[in-house]
Amino acid sequence: MGGNPIIPGFHPDPTICRVGDDYYIAVSSFEYFPAVPIFHSRDLIRWTQIGNALDRVSQLDLREAIDSGGIFAPTLRHHDGRFWLVTTDQARMTRGQLIVSAEDPAGPWSEPVFVAGALGVDPDLAWDIGGGCHLTWSTYGDASVILQAAVDPSAGVLLSEPQRLWSGTGLAAPEAPHLHRRGDWWYLLIAEGGTARGHAVSVARSRSITGPYEGNPANPILTHRSTADPVQNTGHADLVKLPSGQWAAVYLGVRPRGFAPQFHVNGRETFLAAVRWEDDWPVFDEGHYRVPPADTTFIDDFDGDALRPQWISRAGDPLTFAALGAEGLALRTPDEENREHEFVAVRARDDQWAAEAVIRAGSARLILWLDSWHWARIGLYPDAVRVEVALGEIRHTLAEVPADTGGADTLAIRATRPAPEVDRITSPPDRLAFGLLEGGEFRSLAELDGRYLSTEVAGGFTGRVIGIGAAAGGATIARFAYTPICDDNLVLKGI
């Protein structure tokens, strides 16, 4: 049943809403800034990022965020001419859920309000037929349950005491509630089983938004656990009603590769399913939509007035250390405290890909990053070009060659499928090569087994990103290119 994601790469916890013929998706972003990417589509298949909901430090300061901390799952809704987004900032969880709103989903979004007394994660907003707003969320811990209270979303004030709605079917971690009304029923969609191989979607319904809720006897209504489907960890779904009256769902999944236990490297991605109704219960039809591979090519000559919305940073606002200028993207010498984290990055989105950065001047690094303990990079320094890697507490130089500073240098990374002759039992998800582009040809300096930069090894909730950072003295970047590799032969060629 597995297929292509509609938003590939590290784009987890999707939430969707429709306004007229326009669809909008928001996803979680964890420790990266700007936060909560917003996507737009007219056909549910092709999606374009139009902005980020939290793009100002006054809204969100992630400089102290831990790995897989930061912004958790959001809910995006439209009510009375305004878009509303509610989410959890892990670092400020004790302040309650974070709410922002906007007239235009591309922004600007408002300054946040926090709902004190709503402690937990994965919040949802829903308006009843009388116009009252209800906040629903999951408690955080081993004995999670789904809670709900009336709320004033503009002021961030609870208007009633939290009440328990449902605790799921008995699987681990009932979370990610989303409420939808269809006919005389309210449907409470949740995720269960933990966001790994046991992940699942379950649903309950009630005649009243406040319950009581009765679970579907057919639960879970979506899961790929214990199957050979190439898409795994399916869960965390949200529903949307189409103009035709039909329904669809978005949900997250991963595409693991290699030998057992298999390894996923690009994080949790967003997938699409049709939804039909049987006996007033939703049924997922994963085979209904034919989703072609998304266009993931991303090339930036840094000739605009602002950084494009795809660029993210692990060190807070990238404009504190990066600036666009006539020569390209200028990166300052990183602060000693943040020297590993100061880079701008885009998400890796394909099974095979090539990334290149043209260094106009200075010392720079092209980085493949999973978290603070799992990364690899190729760096151009005054004396040498070095390939360095971090694997947990291990720091190691894989290769070093003399630097040629006669002109612009192009640092390059390739991710490709393992060679067919690799033994199946040691088969990694991919092979990573770090090198230089010389005369249009890729020259590999060092290679690495892709398992070491996978979620199954590192843990956490994120996926790989590809970043550009400066070393001592700063750097100017003339061009960055990320391109999927569609043919094994292209691994030896430039893009």
Domain coordinates in residue numbering, the chain: 15-285, 298-492
With 0-12 / 13-18 / 19 or more C-beta atoms within 10 angstroms meaning exposed / middle / buried, residue 306 is: exposed
Confidence (pLDDT) at 421: 64
Confidence (pLDDT) at 408: 66
With 0-12 / 13-18 / 19 or more C-beta atoms within 10 angstroms meaning exposed / middle / buried, residue 290 is: exposed
Confidence (pLDDT) at 469: 97
Buried b (16+ CB within 10 A) or exposed e, 138-164: bbbeeebbbbbbbbebeebebeeebee
What is the pLDDT tens value at each position of the chain, 495 positions in all? 568 999 999 999 999 999 999 999 999 999 999 999 999 999 999 999 999 999 999 999 998 899 999 999 999 999 999 999 999 999 999 999 999 999 999 999 999 999 999 999 999 999 999 999 999 999 987 678 999 999 999 999 999 999 999 999 999 999 999 999 999 999 999 999 999 999 999 999 999 999 999 999 999 999 999 999 999 999 999 999 999 999 999 999 999 999 889 999 999 999 999 999 999 999 999 999 999 999 999 999 999 899 999 999 999 999 999 999 999 999 999 877 777 899 999 999 999 999 999 999 999 999 999 999 999 999 999 999 999 999 999 999 999 999 875 556 999 999 999 877 665 667 899 999 999 999 889 999 999 999 999 999 999 999 999 999 999 899 999 999 999 998 644 443 333
Confidence (pLDDT) at 64: 87
Confidence (pLDDT) at 418: 87
Q: What is the CATH number of domain 298-492?
A: 2.60.120.200
Stretch (H or E) spanning 140: none
Contact 26, 74 (CB under 8 A): yes
Name the CATH code of domain 15-285 (choices 2.115.10.20, 3.90.25.10, 1.10.940.10, 2.60.120.200): 2.115.10.20
CB within 8 Å of 358: residues ≥ 6 apart? 408, 409, 410, 477, 478, 479, 480
Whole-number Cα distances in Å, 192 to 200, 233, 285, 470: 5, 11, 19, 42
Count of Cβ atoms closer than 10 Å to residue 41 Cβ: 19
Residues annotated catalytic, as ranges: 13, 175
Q: Which amino acid is at 363?
A: S
Confidence (pLDDT) at 407: 59
Confidence (pLDDT) at 494: 36
